[in-house]
Structure 1
Amino acid sequence: MHAVVVTQPGGPEVLTYCKVEKPTVKPGWSLIKVRGFGINHSEVFTRQGLSPSVSFPRILGIEVVGEVAESTNQPSLAVGQTVMSFMGDMGRAFDGSYAEYVLLPNDQIYPVTTDLSWAELAAIPETGYTAYGALLGLRLQSQDHLLIRGGTSGVGVTAAKLAHALDSSIQVTSTTRNAAKTDLLTGAGVDQVLLGGEDPLPAASRFDKVLDLIGPKTVKDSLQHLNPGGIVSSTGELGGQWNLEDFEPIAAIPNNCYLTSFYSGDVDDGVLQDLLDLIRNKQVDLAPAKVFKLAEVAEAHREIEGKHNFGKLVVVV
């Protein structure tokens, strides 16, 4: 089969499109014919050698949509069934989805019912589930004012659209460091755009809920801009910082406010199907910003690292 292999850490040029052996099915695992996958910032970090648990050579890719090709778990995973998978040790401890086929543990494969195209479906797994799960954790209510920090990322754009699908009365403000992306955000349904990324928010700004995709680098600032009863969800690490430093909860979290997070590695297949049903019933447009071929994965990595990236990038095989 064809795959994209990384033999050593480095820039996008280390993503090598080549022929490799097709995986052989083993007990407890099933072979998935890859139809598409999204490109994620975590895969960029791994390619750069910043994931200490990952050894090379490795086929990256932490998510996939496709069809069951061979299964050791029939009839639950019937051949030809449309499935989705993401996270776990995929693309890290074992080879991932940057290939024509991927071998996955049965308990990490989720059958789904959908009429979306492969390109549309490929934009959903990690990005859509993260956005949807984080929004559920924020316990959005009618008339809430939601701030999305890191609003031009794939998760940020998706979260803005899903928030309005959940309740059209929710006001969404998204941040961007690039003023040129203001029209793109408003075109995606964002109600208000706030210029700035990792900088402190304007002193007087207040929000009911904050989806902080920049993460630990900005969480303490986000907490200081909550209305009473407000919630910050630190879901993402776009700021490149993994841990909260010098964090003293009593001082950092205002009275009657809350800090939470969402981890997409804990997958609830019922919530996943609810997400797909919401997208269908509310006709949410989650079409990817750009679609690449398998041989163009290196180009997709250059795009996601560039200044002009907006929304979700996917590969269709």
Structure 2
Amino acid sequence: MGIVEQTNDEEKLPLGQKVVSIMGEMGRAFDGSYAEYVLLPNDQIYPIHTDLPWAQLAAIPETYYTAFGSMKNLRIQASDQILVRGATSGVGVAFAKLVKAQFPDIRIFGSTRKAEKGEKLKEAGFSDYIEDPNGILDTEETFDKILELIGPATIKDSLSHIREGGVVCSTGQLGGKWFLEDFDPIMELKHNSYLTTFHSSDVSGEKLNELLAYIEEKGVAVEPEKVFMLEEVAQAHAFLQSQDSFGKVIVLDPSAVGEQASE
């Protein structure tokens, strides 16, 4: 995300326009990674309209976009009891904040492999936490809606904790397993439950601006857990790979901080 510095489409992408790009094989099909400037095809650059400061804005795509799409697909109601599987991830924390902004009294639980992160989950807005040390939830509790961020490694166990007519949204694959094997839909969905998903490649400018409007209207606290400067990329990755990793981490261009301070 950033500001248009050069353009060949003055109508859609005028100079100075705030923009976001997510997915699109950046760093794979297109060279480069962390940089002050990036060159991308116009059809994967989306103009946005927001007054959020850069440090907050940088925390939103694609973490909050993924969480928002999953929230919509789960069709949440105020009476639901919700579980987030893999809750300490950036998407898990973002999801809880988005849901709580609309339904402040809703019951939302988060699973974690490490009990010591449980209190941080409650600080982030979760009602409580459930230990999940070996891919099996340490509870007999059941839920109306489950956001599955670990993926195929735990989805069968998640389905065993869904209530009659409930919905599981399989969005993440944090468990390192990419495919679901030996899946019998008749037996696994025997509680008349529903299985859906969300993929952030389903993106448009309209959907991104819908998310930004929701965040501003509901006053969602989107501050990242940690902010690193561009020259601190190594420290950012070290934190993400450490046992202390929690929530969303961003790397910010120092020039953006300067511009923001001068506004």
Q: TM-score, normalised by structure 2?
A: 0.92
**Bigger Cα displacement from structure 2, 136-145 vs 267-276:** 267-276
**Residue equivalent to 2:24:** 88
Q: 1:208 aligns to what SS in structure 2?
A: strand
Amino acid at match of 2:29: A
1:153 deviates by 0.6
Q: 1:246 aligns to what SS in structure 2?
A: coil
**Residue equivalent to 1:27:** none
Tell me if 1:101 matches 2:37: yes
1:142 deviates by 1.6
1:204 deviates by 2.1
**In 1, are the aligned partners of 2:225 and 2:249 still within 8 Å (CA)?**
yes
1:269 deviates by 2.2
1:129 deviates by 0.3
**Residue equivalent to 2:131:** 195
Q: 2: distance between equivalents of 1:137 and 1:295? A: 38
1:135 deviates by 0.6
**Bigger Cα displacement from structure 2, 249-258 vs 303-312:** 249-258
1:271 deviates by 2.1
Write the mapping of 1:159-238 to structure 2, written as runs, cut at 5 A: 159-202=95-138, 204-238=140-174
Q: 1:103 aligns to what SS in structure 2?
A: coil
Q: 2: distance between equivalents of 1:202 and 1:229? A: 23
**In 1, are the aligned partners of 2:131 and 2:138 still within 8 Å (CA)?**
no
Q: 1: distance between equivalents of 2:205 and 2:133? A: 33
Identical columns (%)? 52
Q: 2: distance between equivalents of 1:140 and 1:134? A: 10
Q: 2:215 aligns to what SS in structure 1?
A: helix
1:117 deviates by 1.2
Q: 2: distance between equivalents of 1:271 and 1:146? A: 24
Q: What is the RMSD computed on CA atoms of the aligned residues? A: 1.3
Tell me if 1:279 matches 2:194: no
Q: 2: distance between equivalents of 1:143 and 1:303? A: 37
Deviation sequence 1:269-297 (CA, Å, 0-9, x none): 22211211111111111101111111211
1:197 deviates by 4.5
**Residue equivalent to 2:251:** 315
Q: TM-score, normalised by structure 1?
A: 0.77
Tell me if 1:149 matches 2:90: no
Q: 2: distance between equivalents of 1:197 and 1:132? A: 27
Q: 1: distance between equivalents of 2:75 and 2:251? A: 33
Q: Which runs of 5+ in 2 are unaligned?
A: 254-263
Alignment counterpart, residue 291 of structure 1, candidates 220, 224, 227: 227
1:145 deviates by 0.6
1:202 deviates by 3.8
1:203 deviates by 5.4
Q: Which runs of 5+ in 1 are unaligned?
A: 1-64
**Residue equivalent to 2:56:** 120
Q: 1: distance between equivalents of 2:225 and 2:73? A: 26
1:147 deviates by 0.3
Alignment counterpart, residue 10 of structure 2, candidates 64, 71, 74: 74
If each structure's strand is expressed as a fraction of its own residues, which one has the higher value?
1
Q: 2: distance between equivalents of 1:248 and 1:117? A: 48
1:140 deviates by 0.5
**In 2, are the aligned partners of 1:228 and 1:257 still within 8 Å (CA)?**
yes
Q: 2: distance between equivalents of 1:184 and 1:233? A: 24
Shift in CA distance, 166/198, structure 1 to aligned 2, threshold 3 Å: farther
**In 2, are the aligned partners of 1:95 and 1:102 still within 8 Å (CA)?**
no
Amino acid at match of 1:193: Y
**Residue equivalent to 2:180:** 244
- Equivalent residue pairs, number: 253
1:198 deviates by 4.3
Amino acid at match of 1:264: S
Q: 2: distance between equivalents of 1:203 and 1:296? A: 40
